[in-house]
Amino acid sequence: MTPFTRKVILIIQSIPEGSVMTYGGVARAAGSPRAARQVVRILHSMSRKYRLPWHRVINAKGMISLTEDESASLQQLYLAGEGVVFDERGMVDLERYQYVPGPELELESELTDDFGAGAEDHLLPPFE
């Protein structure tokens, strides 16, 4: 695993309930501001293994980027369940809900895919 991938995973894992980050925001926090598409790839390929809160990552406009209706609806449902409010255009107020990890975020943590019995499978990304 590359250092960038490790950082992205740890950053996404750190997004608190009721907050969101943009793909570009995750890339910036991981040290590569032009790598938003890499963040998408990492989310797509590693969300299940690392039980990432995939639903907390949205686009720079504050909108859900998923194009498949069921998956997009599921993402909006999960976010709404955490208290994130969407306006009539389906946008999240990034000024209010965007999480910006501070310098105290420990990016050298050990990654593990052993989450035990308490993991919430319903928050795993839908299969495509």
**Positions in the chain short of pLDDT 70:** 104-128
pLDDT at position 33 is 93
Tell me the pTM.
0.82
| pLDDT tens profile 71-106 | 899 999 999 999 999 999 999 999 999 999 987 666
Burial environment of residue 40 by CB neighbours within 10 A (0 to 12, 13 to 18, 19 or more)? middle
- Whole-angstrom Cα distance, residue 43 to residue 58? 11
